[in-house]
């Protein structure tokens, strides 16, 4: 993850209390009274308490929690569909809580677009008019936005459906329309409220893939809500775990799985299929020592003393694995080529599930290389086993 | 011995006191109607002119042109030849049995009442949907309007405006307007929350939300309300005839007082025919306008 990106959205000290006299209940909540006490004493429900988070430009920020954890309430604060009881919501440094209603409307029209769990399409408008809705209410003429809407519809794979009504489409297709509608506005920030939760598993993973593909080109800032940790791990650059209206942990997918900060996250992380959630990056040993040469005498001196095998490179191209044993048996002028064992390379971004069969097929470590083929480290079978059997 | 008759008889106020209350209220209202009756009457004059003009138009235009216009309207609204044939047959039968003029009178007053009810009712319904306070005030009023016997509110209206078409229209509208108000309110409140949120999230103004999302999505319910309003307006035709509204109601009234069974039956059937025509046409128009709601529900 790129840590140098600038912060785009910041939420500070956000509280949401539901009830007729929320402002007066707030001090008690701030003083630390529990949810149950507040409910029993005042009849108010605490939706969110003391939320502090920052979202960086261009990242997919996933907010994960079970139903009732307040995640859908939280995402509705980003564009003020719900107003908080207290707290600041800053976008590019400006507190949107201070926007008067007219500027708020302008802000919503230009800065953010939203995708809903149950699609939120207008049933009385055809697919094309739904996609162009964000531009239509800005007052743009149909002729102006039509080509754009048609383009986006094609991008999400629904070319030719322009004149259909939403009720004539399947759930997956409807959500594609919802996604096209959000992208059509050119808003920089995309709010996705359990966008794929209502879809069946196959369609869901298809949509996730599509989102990842789109994101590679678009580099939008996406706030994604889900109750599904697998989805969170797959999509998220960073994940925030929400429980009973409180943030429990914010971190990268690896942090969540390998370093859960409390029981709640641990329980979640336990059921995760780690082989599918983690990448080579998380378990590789950064070690760039390698052998460079074509004959035994080239490498005899540089063989690492504490290891019984090493990776051989020639002109920065990976050749194979050489064992200490074999090197000792060789004459100085023997070519290494004959003794090398072909062990495949892996990349940092490979999922562990793709690496497992490779690792099982050899007694040696797997070399990790980058795009240019340079050695970056190695994967040890024992570490792989450790991480897969917690 | 203490008088204990209150145990067996309700301790009501004396007749004299009651009389005093009645006289005061009646007197006050009489004064009010004497002072303001004329200006209120003047206020309703444009409506009266329109009513008379519309009625004359229907009666004085040759019957076959009116009939052609009606069938044409029905076709435009429903695109169904079956309905058109039914309407044509019904009106031919009505004319053949000598009820053409009365039917045109009833048709005109029902049309005017319906248009008035829609024009007044839908905005009230919208107001009710937007504010819970408005709803809590309007709902009991609607309850009163629907349950109070029509004759009771006819008295002050007649005192104020005399006998004629205008008091008839007011009585019919009071009786017929509640369904369209109630169902407009209900329809708007039932609009899918996420769809409305979507509109807000993309930056729709309250007006854009109302006319772009809420009313279109509430339309099936509102149409049901309009349909009910038309039916109730027709049901008031006979009562309205008691205060001088001409039309199919008057022969029915005459039949009751003179025991003319056949006359009553024929005019009653004509009212039924009108009701069925209005109902079928408005429903099939609503269905046609809501075509997008059909389609396969998959996923």
The model's pLDDT over A135-185, given as tens digits with 9 standing for 90+, comes to 999 989 999 999 999 999 998 889 899 999 999 999 889 999 999 999 999
**Which residues are registered as beta bridge partners of A89?**
A11
The residue range of the domain holding A186 is 57-85+99-272
pLDDT of residue A1: 45
Predicted confidence band at B296 (pLDDT cuts at 50, 70, 90)?
A: very low
For the segment B63-74, what is each residue's pLDDT rounded down to a tens digit? 999 999 999 999
Closest by Cα among A259, A262, A261, A215 to A234:
A215
Q: Does residue A257 share a domain with residue A110?
A: yes
Predicted confidence band at B2 (pLDDT cuts at 50, 70, 90)?
A: low
Nearest to A105 among B205, B295, B298 (CB): B205
For the record, the structure tokens of A136 come out as 């239509």
Q: Does residue A210 share a domain with residue A124?
A: yes
Predicted confidence band at B19 (pLDDT cuts at 50, 70, 90)?
A: very high
Closest by Cα among B54, B78, B92 to B288:
B78
Long-range contacts of range A328-333, CB-CB < 8 Å, 24 or more positions apart?
Answer: A330/A296, A331/A296, A332/A295, A332/A296, A332/A297, A332/A300, A333/A295, A333/A296, A333/A297
pLDDT at B13 over 50: yes
* A221 assigned to some structural domain: yes
Mean pLDDT of B190-196: 92
Closest by Cα among B204, B229, B205 to B279:
B229
For the record, the structure tokens of B242 come out as 């008691």
* Residue numbers in B near A123 (CB within 8 A): 195, 217, 292-293
Q: Distance between CA A41 and CA A275 in Å, rounded? A: 47
Q: Is the pTM of this model over 0.90?
A: no
* Structural domains in chain B plus CATH codes: 18-289 (1.10.3720.10)
* A20 assigned to some structural domain: no
A299 by DSSP, 3-state: which? helix
* Ranges A279-293, B75-89, B98-112: which has the least confidence: A279-293
Mean pLDDT of B116-141: 95
For the record, the structure tokens of A70 come out as 């307040």
pLDDT of residue B79: 87
Does A103 contact B at CB distance below 8 Å?
Answer: no
* A122 assigned to some structural domain: yes
In the sheet that holds A45-56, the strands lie side by side as A45-56, A7-18, A86-91, A94-95
Cβ-based neighbour number of residue B218 at 10 Å: 25
Domain boundary among A218, A248, A272: A272
What's the half-sphere exposure (Cβ side, CA atoms, 13 Å) at A366? 27
Does A128 contact B at CB distance below 8 Å?
Answer: no
Q: Does residue A230 share a domain with residue A159?
A: yes
* A35 assigned to some structural domain: no
Q: Does residue A108 share a domain with residue A79?
A: yes
* A214 assigned to some structural domain: yes
pLDDT of residue A28: 87
Q: Does residue A132 share a domain with residue A113?
A: yes
Mean pLDDT of B268-282: 91
Q: Does residue A245 share a domain with residue A155?
A: yes
Rounding to the nearest 10 degrees, give the CA dihedral for residues B70, B73, B79, B80. Answer: -20
Q: How many angstroms separate the CA of residue A124 from the nearest CA in chain B?
A: 6
Q: Distance between CA B237 and CA B276 in Å, rounded? A: 15
User: How wide is the angle at C-alpha A178 spanned by C-alphas A173 and A182, nearest 5°?
Assistant: 145
What is the complex's ipTM, to 2 decimals? 0.76
pLDDT of residue B297: 41
CATH (domain of A68): 3.40.50.300
Mean pLDDT of B152-159: 84
Q: Does residue A80 share a domain with residue A221?
A: yes
What's the DSSP call for residue A289? -
CA A305 distance to own-chain centroid: 41
Q: Does residue A172 share a domain with residue A120?
A: yes
Q: Does residue A76 share a domain with residue A220?
A: yes
Domain boundary among A239, A272, A305: A272
Cβ-based neighbour number of residue A172 at 10 Å: 18
pLDDT of residue A240: 94
CATH (domain of A316): 3.10.580.10
Pairwise CB contact (< 8 Å): A116 & B198: yes
Burial of B31 (0-12, 13-18, 19+ CB in 10 A): exposed
Q: Does residue A105 share a domain with residue A225?
A: yes
For the record, the structure tokens of B130 come out as 């937007």
For the record, the structure tokens of B47 come out as 């409506």
Q: How many independent structural domains does chain A possess?
A: 2
* A253 assigned to some structural domain: yes
* Residue numbers in B near A115 (CB within 8 A): none
Q: Return the higher-pLDDT residue of B1 and A187.
A: A187
A317-323 vs A309-314, strand pairing mode: antiparallel
Question: Left if phi > 0, otherwise alpha if psi is -120 to 50, otherwise beta: which for A44?
Answer: beta
pLDDT at B292 over 80: no
Cβ-based neighbour number of residue B155 at 10 Å: 11
* Residue numbers in B near A112 (CB within 8 A): 201
* Residue numbers in A near B204 (CB within 8 A): 105, 137
DSSP A359-375: HHT-SSPEEEE-TT--E
Residue with tokens 């939706």: A47
pLDDT of residue A316: 81
Task: Say if residues A108 and B201 touch (Cβ distance below 8 Å).
Answer: yes
* A42 assigned to some structural domain: no
Domain boundary among A272, A306, A324: A272
Mean pLDDT of B187-203: 93
DSSP chain B: ----GGGTS--PPPHHHHHHHHHHHHHHHHHHHHHHHHHHHHHHHHHHHHHHHHHHHHHHS-HHHHHHHHHHHHHHHH--HHHHHHHHHHHHHHHHTT-HHHHHHHHHHHHHHHHHHHHHHHHHHHHHHH-HHHHHHHHHHHHHHHHS-HHHHHHHHHHHH-SSHHHHHHHHHHHHHHHHHHHHHHHHHTS-HHHHHHHHHTT--HHHHIIIIIHHHHHHHHHHHHHHHHHHHHHTHHHHHTTT--STHHHHHHHHHHT-HHHHHHHHHHHHHHHHHHHHHHHHHHHHHTGGG-S----
User: How wide is the angle at C-alpha B195 spanned by C-alphas B193 and B201, nearest 5°?
Assistant: 100
pLDDT at B121 over 90: yes
Q: Distance between CA A283 and CA B38 in Å, rounded? A: 94
For the segment A109-118, what is each residue's pLDDT rounded down to a tens digit? 999 999 999 9
Task: Say if residues B280 and B228 touch (Cβ distance below 8 Å).
Answer: no
Residues of chain A with pLDDT under 70: 1-4, 390
pLDDT at B299 over 50: no
Pairwise CB contact (< 8 Å): A167 & B212: no
Q: Does residue A240 share a domain with residue A307?
A: no
Q: Does residue A268 share a domain with residue A163?
A: yes
* A138 assigned to some structural domain: yes
For the record, the structure tokens of A224 come out as 């994604």
pLDDT of residue A4: 61
Q: How many angstroms separate the CA of residue B222 from the nearest CA in chain A?
A: 15
Pairwise CB contact (< 8 Å): A134 & B297: no
Residue with tokens 């107001």: B127
- Number of CB pairs, chain A paired with chain B, less than 8 A apart: 89
Q: Looking at chain B from residue 211 to 230, which residues have their Cβ under 8 Å from any Cβ of chain A?
A: 212-213, 216-217, 219
Q: How many angstroms separate the CA of residue B296 from the nearest CA in chain A?
A: 5
């Amino acid at each position: 993850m790129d840590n140098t990106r600038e912060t785009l959205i910041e939420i500070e000290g956000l509280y949401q209390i539901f009830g007729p006299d929320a402002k007066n209940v707030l001090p008690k909540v701030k003083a630390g009274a529990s949810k149950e006490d507040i409910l029993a004493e005042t009849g108010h429900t605490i939706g969110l308490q003391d939320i502090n988070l920052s979202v960086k430009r261009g990242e997919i920020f996933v907010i994960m929690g079970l139903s009732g954890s307040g995640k859908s309430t939280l995402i509705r604060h980003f564009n003020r569909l719900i107003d908080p009881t207290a707290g600041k919501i800053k976008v590019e440094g400006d507190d949107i809580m201070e926007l008067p209603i007219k500027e708020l409307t302008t802000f919503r029209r230009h800065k953010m677009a939203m995708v809903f769990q149950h699609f939120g399409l207008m049933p009385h408008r055809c697919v094309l008019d739904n996609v162009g809705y964000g531009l239509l209410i800005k007052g743009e003429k149909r002729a102006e936005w039509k080509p754009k809407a048609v383009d986006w519809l094609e991008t999400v794979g629904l070319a030719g459906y322009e004149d259909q009504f939403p009720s004539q489409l399947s759930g997956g297709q409807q959500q594609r329309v919802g996604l096209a509608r959000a992208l059509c506005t050119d808003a920089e920030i995309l709010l996705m409220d359990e966008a794929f939760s209502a879809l069946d598993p196959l369609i869901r993973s298809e949509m996730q893939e599509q989102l990842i593909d789109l994101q590679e080109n678009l580099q939008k800032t996406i706030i994604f809500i889900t109750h599904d940790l697998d989805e969170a791990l797959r999509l998220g650059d960073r994940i925030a775990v929400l429980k009973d209206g409180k943030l429990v942990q914010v971190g990268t997918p690896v942090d969540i799985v390998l370093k859960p900060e409390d029981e709640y996250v641990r329980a979640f992380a336990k059921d995760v299929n780690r082989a599918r959630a983690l990448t080579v990056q998380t378990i590789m040993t950064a070690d760039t020592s390698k052998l460079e040469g074509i004959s035994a005498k080239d490498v005899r001196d540089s063989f690492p003393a504490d290891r019984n095998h090493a990776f051989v490179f020639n002109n920065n191209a990976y050749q194979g694995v050489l064992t200490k044993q074999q090197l000792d048996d060789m004459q100085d002028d023997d070519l290494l080529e004959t003794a090398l064992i072909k062990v495949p390379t892996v990349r940092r971004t490979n999922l562990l599930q793709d690496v497992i069969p490779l690792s099982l097929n050899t007694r040696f470590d797997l070399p990790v290389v980058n795009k240019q083929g340079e050695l970056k480290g190695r994967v040890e079978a024992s570490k792989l086993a450790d991480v897969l059997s917690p | 011995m203490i008088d204990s008759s209150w145990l067996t008889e309700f301790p009501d106020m004396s007749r004299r006191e009651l009389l005093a209350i009645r006289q005061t209220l009646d007197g006050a209202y009489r004064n009010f109607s004497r002072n303001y009756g004329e200006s209120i009457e003047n206020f309703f004059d444009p409506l009266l002119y329109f009513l008379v003009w519309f009625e004359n138009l229907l009666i004085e235009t040759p019957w076959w042109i009116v009939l052609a216009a009606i069938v044409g309207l029905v076709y435009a609204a429903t695109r169904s030849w079956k309905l058109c044939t039914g309407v044509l047959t019904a009106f031919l039968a009505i004319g053949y049995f000598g009820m053409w003029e009365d039917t045109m009178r009833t048709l005109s007053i029902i049309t005017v009442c319906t248009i008035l009810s829609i024009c007044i009712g839908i905005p009230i319904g919208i107001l009710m949907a937007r504010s819970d306070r408005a709803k809590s005030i309007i709902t009991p009023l609607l309850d009163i309007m629907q349950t109070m016997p029509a004759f009771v509110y006819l008295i002050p209206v007649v005192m104020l405006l005399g006998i004629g078409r205008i008091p008839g229209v007011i009585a019919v509208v009071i009786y017929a307007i509640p369904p369209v108000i109630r169902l407009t309110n209900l329809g708007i409140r039932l609009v899918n929350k996420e769809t409305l949120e979507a509109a807000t999230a993309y930056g729709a103004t309250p007006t854009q939300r109302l006319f772009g999302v809420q009313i279109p999505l509430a339309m099936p319910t509102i149409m049901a309300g309009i349909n009910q309003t038309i039916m109730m307006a027709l049901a008031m035709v006979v009562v309205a005839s008691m205060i001088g509204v001409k039309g199919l109601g008057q022969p029915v009234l005459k039949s009751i007082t003179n025991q003319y069974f056949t006359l009553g039956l024929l005019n009653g059937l004509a009212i039924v025919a009108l009701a069925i025509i209005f109902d079928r046409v408005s429903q099939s128009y609503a269905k046609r306008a809501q075509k997008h709601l059909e389609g396969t529900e998959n996923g």
